[in-house]
Amino acid sequence: MVKSSAVILLAAALLPLSACVSSGTTNTYDPRVSEWKPGVGWRPAAGSAGPKKTSAESLRTESREAFDAASHRDALRGYLALRETYPRSAEAKDLETAFLIAECYYHLGEGEYASAYPYYQEVLKGNPREEMLKTSLGRIYDIGKAFLDGRAKKTFLGVPYRSPAFGVEIFLGEQGLVTNYPFLSYSEDALREVAMYYFDRGEYPEAEQVFERLTRDYPQSTWNASAEYFLALSVYRQVRGVDYDLETLHQARSKFNVYLNHHPRGSQVEEVRDKLREIAEKEGRHDLMIAKYYLRESQPQAAILYLRSVIFNNPRTDAAREAREIFENMERRRGGG
């Protein structure tokens, strides 16, 4: 009985170890005293009488083997162990190590994008070769867009949360993609993504600023027509009503006319013409409102000035038709008709 119990206890003690080994890339062996094998993952070095510290060169080599085998979590553990154990080594300082750490996080999915980003930034600051540079810039764009879209998350005290503002920072911040690499096609796309993010949230002043920047700095962009349309629409959406200052309304009209001048056959031409008719109606209603005020105050000459403004400046509006009727009635009364 005692002997069989000892066997059971021994088996139970060995079970976690065998489970770790058989589970491949999910085992918990420390890469600093292990070696990596395909299909197995990190495990104690073969033939070792006891744990033996892995060299920096071996850590890098085996981590790369794990990466090439798409065992990204194992590769990440190896590269992080390399940097922690041998921080001053050439292997740890090699720019490719930072790049591959970033790539590991990136391939582990959107939940790890926040961890990948600073390593890509490290790569950009280190004068990388062209292929590494292009890949890093593309990844940063993907990460920024994922945050803007709410797909990627940051973590605070272990709690994940969406942070579109972090996406804006990745694109437009002091170290942002557009800020430091303004001549990339990625930068044009990033500006549009940020502008549409603000527009879709109804943050029209912010959207206006970014669309203005896109149209100004990238006049040949494939997004130019769309950007000019949404720029005008962003301004128009800030109009509070005809009883307020008309400056915003005039700015919107100017922006819509820019679109028509630049893109007379653009896909938003009919929408723009509709908006210009709406603007004309609002402008006419504004002056008509003032004319009616002066009539109530028994100041017909001042009223006539505003009635004429409606009629001549916005002739095809309902406001102009009403202004004509009022003006004609005033003329008849003055003529005794």
Tens-digit pLDDT profile for residues 235-276: 999 998 767 668 999 999 999 999 999 999 999 999 999 999
Asked if the structure places residue 238 within a domain, the reply is yes
Q: Are residues 193 and 259 in the same domain?
A: yes
Per DSSP, the residues of 270-323 read HHHHHHHHHHHHHHHHHHHHHHHHHHHTT-HHHHHHHHHHHHHHSTTSHHHHHH
Q: Are residues 306 and 231 in the same domain?
A: no
Asked if the structure places residue 188 within a domain, the reply is yes
- Identity of the residue numbered 43: R
Q: Are residues 260 and 306 in the same domain?
A: no
Output the six-digit token pair for 46. Answer: 């073969």
Asked if the structure places residue 209 within a domain, the reply is yes
For 37, 56, 62, 65, 272, the CA distances from 41, given in Å and listed in that order, are 5, 18, 10, 10, 61
Query: 72: which residues sit within 8 A by CB, 6+ positions away?
Result: 66, 103, 104, 107, 108
Asked if the structure places residue 28 within a domain, the reply is no
Residue 166 clears pLDDT 90, i.e. is over it: yes
The residue behind tokens 């083997």 is 65
Q: Are residues 260 and 320 in the same domain?
A: no
Q: Return the pLDDT at 25.
A: 44
Asked if the structure places residue 130 within a domain, the reply is no
Q: Are residues 259 and 200 in the same domain?
A: yes
Q: Are residues 260 and 186 in the same domain?
A: yes
Phi-psi region of 157 (alpha: psi -120 to 50; beta: other; left: phi over 0): left
Total of domains in the chain: 2
Percentage helix, strand, coil, to 5, in the chain?
A: 70, 5, 25
Asked if the structure places residue 220 within a domain, the reply is yes
159: enclosing H helix or E strand: strand 159-162
Which pTM does this prediction carry?
0.81
Q: How many CB atoms lie within 10 A of CB 13?
A: 9
Q: Are residues 254 and 315 in the same domain?
A: no
Residues 325-334 have pLDDT tens digits of: 998 998 888 8
Q: Are residues 186 and 265 in the same domain?
A: yes
Output the six-digit token pair for 62. Answer: 């085996």
- Identity of the residue numbered 120: Y
CATH number at residue 246: 1.25.40.10
Asked if the structure places residue 229 within a domain, the reply is yes
User: Are the CB atoms for 154 and 167 separated by under 8 Å?
Assistant: no
Range of the domain at 232: 182-271
**Backbone torsions φ then ψ of 126, nearest 5 degrees:** -105, 20
Q: Return the pLDDT at 244.
A: 65
**Backbone torsions φ then ψ of 274, nearest 5 degrees:** -60, -45
The pLDDT mean for the chain works out to: 89
Q: Are residues 212 and 253 in the same domain?
A: yes
Asked if the structure places residue 97 within a domain, the reply is no
Tell me the mean pLDDT in the region 41-69.
Answer: 86
Residues 296-328 have pLDDT tens digits of: 999 999 999 999 999 999 999 999 999 999 989
First to last CA, the chain: 126
Q: Alpha-carbon distance 149 to 197, whole Å?
A: 8
Q: Alpha-carbon distance 148 to 102, whole Å?
A: 20
In DSSP terms, 156 is beta-bridged to 159
